[in-house]
Amino acid sequence: MEKVNVTIDGRTFEAVKDKCVLEVAHENGIYIPSLCYNSEVTSSGGSCRVCLVEAHQGGRMRLVTACNYPVRKGLEVKTDTPLVRRIRRGVLELLMARVPDSEVIREMAAAEGLTEVRFREDTGENERYKCIACALCTNVCAEVVGVYAISMINRGADKKPATPYLKPSDVCIGCGACAYACPTGAITLKEKDGVRRIWGKDFPMVRCSVCGTPYIPEAQVDWIVKRTGKDRSFFDKCPDHR
Amino acid sequence: MAPIDSIGGLEAYRRKLAEAAEAKADMPTVLVCFGTGCQANGAGPVAEAFRKVIDEQGLKLDVNLGIKTTGCHGYCENGPLVAIRPQDILYLKVKPEDVPEIVEETIKGGRTVERLVYRDKATDEVVARYSEIPFYKHQHRIALRHIGSIDPTDIDDYILAGGYAGLAKALAMDPEEIVSEVERSGLRGRGGAGFPAGTKWRSCLAVESDVRYVLCNGDEGDPGAFMDRSIMEGDPHSVIEGMIIGAFALGSHQGYIYVRDEYPLAVKNLSIALEAAREKGLLGENILGSGFSFDIKISRGGGAFVCGESSALMRSVAGEVGEPRAKYIRSVEKGLYDKPTVLNNVETWANVPEIILKGADWYASMGTEGSKGTKVFSLVGKVNNTGLVEVPMGISIRELVENIGGGVLGGKKFKAVQTGGPSGGCIPERLADLPIDFDSLTEAGSMMGSGGIIVMDEETCMVDVARYFTNFLVDESCGKCTPCRDGLPRILDLLTDITEGRGGEEHVALLEELCDLLTWGALCGLGTSAANPVLSTIKYFRDEYDAHIRDKKCPAGVCKALITYSIDPEACTGCRLCAKNCPQECITGKRKEAHVIDTSKCIKCGVCKDVCTFDAVRIS
């Protein structure tokens, strides 16, 4: 792998060419806030704009999203300039106005010294109460899980993830990857009496034959068996008792 | 007929068409505009009426008359347009019942029907000759070179007019030479950003790949802009020829024309043209026997404004949701299906054949230092002559509005022009001597965009204009990135507050802050330019913002919450016209006595002002 030298906030690091700025920064202990990016999901990133940093290259400066800007030779990144702080605060203020009840956003904003919103706050319909429409959930579902149970619908401020026609999905396996990946905890996943409820659909769970804990939806087992050819009996026990 | 299999064969075919045309040169020809505008105004029945009269009288008259249905002449406001050759007469607003008179007087008698020709609103001067009408006299048509004079569904018409000669010349050139020619011509992308076309081609050529794509952006979405539609409808072969030349230079074998589905006539005429070009051996396998193969598919878009953005367009062509992506890796490297791709706008492609045929020096001799050639503008709004005009770059806004546009409608005061569509900005009258080119418009806080020019008069409220365009962008934002998705609705909130009298001193500062956030923080061109309408109106018309905020007044008399209607008793003659038309029935007064508006019931619809013939209705 080709290595290049990249400078972040005055310190120079050797990094793999085309790796994203955010990861190179985090590997070297430089914090850049981010929401919509997950290093395991190549289609993620670029939408929340929280990780905007200054990229100086070829005599030109641009604000770029650190989560998908590739490091190349001679790149100099600044993560803490007045411009970066100003735009980051602006983005966070908009997000706070969108999802006033999200603790994650409030904390991230507080770290930038932002506690008050000067705009109309969204009252929010219940389902997008904390959703920042970053599409990480749909990207995870499509790219990592591979079932395409949810996708982004509508556009503009009404954009949100949903199952087709807002009906319980035929293909959802109830794995909950969307909920685990969501940066703001906007997707409700509830479990009760051995049944998981997500996206308006109930998924009976397999109980561990040792401890009796319901730990995986049956539909998810079906999917894994179908996709990998793994023996179904493997899922009789939960990871703790295998 | 068999496909033409050599460059010489094309020239021989053209000579044959020319001889046939020569033989008919003296015969009168009636050209009925079949652009979307004229068709909507009733061009179909007019053409039908001509056919009928000719059928009925044809043999008896012994006049062999050709009727052509052409593309848009650009002077849409006055449609249906009918041009008569060889006299070079243009008749405006022709109705089917005018047809017998035109046939009798003009075609048979060689006389002009005066009531149907252009009459200058200011001087009352009558102009019959097509090329002498002020709207056309000042134009210089390259991209629109054939539109209105050829039948877009007949490839022979295009070939007879010199079509595909640029391709023939290009096929004998070295691809490298073609790219250099386009570079030297100074042609910049007509879609809006004005990126030099040659530079784009060169960087695509530099990327190693066995597959490359050539794309045409026909997703024209700016309200009021219709030059691309006109070209695709009226001269589709010019776009196709340009793309074939580009593909040959770049070594591409597949192209796509992305057209919005709201342009059914463009889709139809392009499809006919593609099929005809294939039949003639000008498209498909082994073009003109050169060994080079290239074909074009039409990709129909669903009409999302954002799909005019290059990366969203490519996703849409590939069948994905039309959302932009970060262009940190350029589409000349990784574009459609991750292959090197050159995307140019309709008008850009239409210029290419002429540039190759007549040379880079010819093209570069027109225009300004940084913006060469001509540009098509759609001139609309409060101006006498609206329509499509093509002029050399560098013409001033004032020349465009006054000489070609015939000045502001109704003799009102010229206030501003809005250029570049919803992401453009407003330029005040005092800067109207600014030359129109890519750089000067950007410098003034607006942009060329696709070439929409909306003329505004003293009765246009600039805060309301900013609110209107922001509202459009709120609807069209794809919602992918935070600044655009959540910032634009907040900007709209603030602007609405101001226009409804709730604006405070802090509103303008907040607007500027949000605009700054959009400009720096948004993902694609739609978002980064979305602040232009707001910023440019704040910059040039701050007094209007202040009037709304401090005095709670709308100087232009537009913002309903801030105005009241009243009747000037001195001017009112008591004719009852306003009272009869008032939907609220809130105007009272006896005949021949001054009337009064009950403002508690008035909904400020403005009907009374519109119908009053004595100018007695006042807005304050």
Q: Are residues B471 and B341 part of one domain?
A: no
**What pLDDT is attached to residue B410?**
86
Q: Are residues B53 and B68 part of one domain?
A: yes
Q: Residues B166-196: pLDDT tens digits?
A: 999 999 999 999 999 999 999 999 988 899 9
Least confident of A165-174, B41-50, B347-356: B41-50
CATH of the domain at A225: 3.30.70.20
Best probe of the A interface among B316, B485, B491, B512, by most A CBs < 10 A, is B485
**What pLDDT is attached to residue A126?**
47
Query: What is the 3-class SS of B20-32, one letter each residue?
Result: HHHHCCCCCEEEE
pLDDT reading at B280 higher than 60: yes
Q: Residues A25-52: pLDDT tens digits?
A: 999 999 999 999 999 999 999 999 999 9
Q: Residues B87-114: pLDDT tens digits?
A: 888 999 999 999 989 988 888 888 899 8
Q: Residues A115-134: pLDDT tens digits?
A: 999 988 776 554 457 999 99
**What pLDDT is attached to residue B6?**
94
**What pLDDT is attached to residue B354?**
97
What is the band of B67 on the pLDDT scale with cuts at 50, 70, 90?
low
| Residue B20 within a domain | no
Q: Are residues A233 and A171 part of one domain?
A: yes
Q: Are residues B468 and B412 part of one domain?
A: no
Q: Is the dihedral of CA B280, B286, B291, B297 positive or negative?
A: positive
User: For the residues A139-168, what does the mean pLDDT come to?
Assistant: 95
Among candidate residues A123, A149, A183, the one where a domain is terminated: A123
Q: CA A172, CA A187: separation in Å to the nearest integer?
A: 14
Q: Are residues B65 and B45 part of one domain?
A: yes
Q: Hey, are the CB atoms on A91 and B483 less than 8 Å from each other?
A: yes
**What pLDDT is attached to residue B61?**
46
Least confident of A96-110, B122-136, B219-233, B376-390: B122-136
> Which residues of chain A lie closer than 8 angstroms to B481, CB-CB?
46-49
Q: Are residues A236 and A181 part of one domain?
A: yes
Question: In whole angstroms, what separates CA B9 from the centre of its chain?
Answer: 36
Q: Hey, are the CB atoms on B486 and A63 less than 8 Å from each other?
A: no
Best probe of the A interface among B316, B490, B526, by most A CBs < 10 A, is B490
- The angle at the Cα of B384, spanning B382 to B390, to the nearest 5 degrees, equals 95
Of B22-36, B124-138, B246-260, the range with the highest mean pLDDT is: B246-260
- A135: nearest CA partner in chain B: B480
| Residue B10 within a domain | no
Q: Are residues B379 and B289 part of one domain?
A: no
Q: Which domain holds residue A109?
A: 84-123
Q: Are residues B173 and B223 part of one domain?
A: yes
Q: Are residues A109 and A30 part of one domain?
A: no
**What pLDDT is attached to residue B109?**
84
| Residue B494 within a domain | yes
Q: Are residues B289 and B199 part of one domain?
A: yes
Whether omega before B80 lies within 30 degrees of 0, making that bond cis, reads yes
**What pLDDT is attached to residue A123?**
67
CATH of the domain at A22: 3.10.20.740
> Which residues of chain A lie closer than 8 angstroms to B521, CB-CB?
49, 52, 63, 87, 90-91
Among candidate residues A20, A47, A80, the one where a domain is terminated: A80
Q: Are residues B335 and B433 part of one domain?
A: no
| Residue B200 within a domain | yes
Among candidate residues B435, B460, B485, the one where a domain is terminated: B460
Q: How far from B27 is each of B22, B111, B113, B241, CA to CA, in Å? A: 10, 15, 19, 30
Q: Would you say how long chain A is, in residues? A: 242
CB-based contact, B492 to chain A, within 8 Å: no
| Residue B315 within a domain | yes
Nearest Cβ partner for A63 among B321, B474, B521 = B521
| Residue B2 within a domain | no
Q: Hey, are the CB atoms on A68 and B490 less than 8 Å from each other?
A: no
Q: CA A90, CA A111: separation in Å to the nearest integer?
A: 13
Q: Which ranges of chain A would DSSP assign to H, the alpha helix?
A: 21-27, 82-98, 103-111, 136-139, 177-181, 218-228
In chain A, % of residues over pLDDT 90:
91
Which residues are paired to B596 by β-bridges?
B588
B388 against B348, higher pLDDT = B348
User: For the residues B462-478, what does the mean pLDDT come to?
Assistant: 95
Q: How many structural domains is chain B composed of?
A: 5
Q: Residues B377-431: pLDDT tens digits?
A: 999 999 988 888 999 999 999 999 998 888 998 889 999 999 988 888 999 999 9
Q: Residues B238-270: pLDDT tens digits?
A: 999 999 999 999 999 999 999 999 999 999 999
Tokens of B341: 């791709």
Q: Are residues B521 and B447 part of one domain?
A: no
Q: Are residues A226 and A136 part of one domain?
A: yes
Which amino acid appears at position A183 of this protein? Answer: P
| DSSP structural state of residue B390 | E
Q: Are residues B448 and B471 part of one domain?
A: no
Tokens of B458: 């003293």
Q: CA A86, CA A64: separation in Å to the nearest integer?
A: 14
A44 contact partners, CB below 8 Å, separation of at least 6: A36, A37, A38, A67, A135, A136, A139, A140
User: For the residues A101-105, what does the mean pLDDT come to?
Assistant: 92
Q: Hey, are the CB atoms on A157 and B510 less than 8 Å from each other?
A: no
Nearest Cβ partner for B485 among A69, A83, A157 = A157
Which amino acid appears at position B31 of this protein? Answer: L
Q: Can you tell me whether residue B281 is helix, strand or coil?
A: coil
- B516: nearest CA partner in chain A: A87
CB pairs under 8 A between A and B: 100
CATH of the domain at B73: 3.40.30.10
Q: Which domain holds residue B584?
A: 564-619
User: For the residues A48-66, what does the mean pLDDT come to?
Assistant: 96
Which amino acid appears at position B620 of this protein? Answer: S
CB-based contact, B516 to chain A, within 8 Å: yes
Q: CA B456, CA B445: separation in Å to the nearest integer?
A: 17
Q: Hey, are the CB atoms on A133 and B510 less than 8 Å from each other?
A: no
Q: Are residues A237 and A160 part of one domain?
A: yes
Q: Can you tell me whether residue A76 is helix, strand or coil?
A: strand
Q: Would you say how long chain B is, in residues? A: 620
Q: Hey, are the CB atoms on A135 and B480 less than 8 Å from each other?
A: yes
**What pLDDT is attached to residue B387?**
87
- A63: nearest CA partner in chain B: B520
Measured CB to CB, residues of chain A less than 8 Å from chain B are 46-50, 52, 63-65, 68-70, 83, 86-87, 90-91, 94-95, 97-98, 118-120, 132-133, 135, 151-152, 154-159
Q: Residues B305-345: pLDDT tens digits?
A: 999 999 999 999 999 989 999 888 899 999 999 999 999 99
Q: CA B275, CA B254: separation in Å to the nearest integer?
A: 15
> Going along B441-483, which residue ranges are E strands?
452-457
| Residue B150 within a domain | no
pLDDT reading at B78 higher than 90: no
- The angle at the Cα of B304, spanning B267 to A144, to the nearest 5 degrees, equals 115
| Residue B15 within a domain | no
Q: Are residues B220 and B316 part of one domain?
A: yes
Q: CA B190, CA A16: separation in Å to the nearest integer?
A: 39
CB-based contact, B316 to chain A, within 8 Å: no
pLDDT reading at B60 higher than 50: no
Q: Residues B533-585: pLDDT tens digits?
A: 999 999 999 999 999 999 999 999 999 999 999 999 999 999 999 999 999 99
When the pLDDT of each residue in chain A is averaged and rounded to a whole number, the result is 94
Nearest CA-CA partner of B298 in B349, B250, B256: B256
Tokens of B91: 């008749």
B21 contact partners, CB below 8 Å, separation of at least 6: B160
User: For the residues A6-22, what does the mean pLDDT come to?
Assistant: 96
**What pLDDT is attached to residue A178?**
97
Q: Are residues A133 and A28 part of one domain?
A: no
- The angle at the Cα of B516, spanning B515 to B519, to the nearest 5 degrees, equals 85
Q: Are residues A233 and A132 part of one domain?
A: yes
Nearest Cβ partner for A87 among B476, B493, B521 = B521
Q: Are residues A221 and A138 part of one domain?
A: yes
Question: In whole angstroms, what separates CA B94 from the centre of its chain?
Answer: 23
Nearest CA-CA partner of B391 in B33, B137, B88, B163: B137
Radius of gyration of chain A (CA): 21
Nearest CA-CA partner of B377 in B363, B398, B391, B364: B391
**What pLDDT is attached to residue A26?**
96
Q: How many structural domains is chain A composed of?
A: 3
Q: Hey, are the CB atoms on B480 and A52 less than 8 Å from each other?
A: no
Q: Are residues A158 and A88 part of one domain?
A: no
Q: Are residues A163 and A134 part of one domain?
A: yes
Count the Cβ atoms, other than its own, within 10 Å of residue A110. 12
Q: Are residues A115 and A66 part of one domain?
A: no
CB-based contact, B411 to chain A, within 8 Å: no
Q: Hey, are the CB atoms on A156 and B478 less than 8 Å from each other?
A: yes
Nearest CA-CA partner of B239 in B250, B227, B221, B251: B227
CB-based contact, B304 to chain A, within 8 Å: yes
User: For the residues B41-56, what does the mean pLDDT come to?
Assistant: 87
State how far residue A234 is from chain B, nearest Cα, in angstroms.
37
Q: Are residues B473 and B447 part of one domain?
A: no
Nearest CA-CA partner of B463 in B380, B533, B359, B375: B533
Among candidate residues B364, B392, B427, the one where a domain is terminated: B364
Nearest Cβ partner for A118 among B474, B488, B510 = B510
Q: Are residues A99 and A25 part of one domain?
A: no
Among candidate residues B431, B460, B489, the one where a domain is terminated: B460
Write out the H or E segment, with its range, that includes residue B136: helix B134-137
Q: CA A193, CA A195: separation in Å to the nearest integer?
A: 6
Contact of B284 with B276, CB cutoff 8 Å: no
pLDDT reading at B136 higher than 90: no
> Which residues of chain B lie closer than 8 angstroms to A152, CB-CB?
321, 479
Q: Hey, are the CB atoms on B486 and A135 less than 8 Å from each other?
A: no
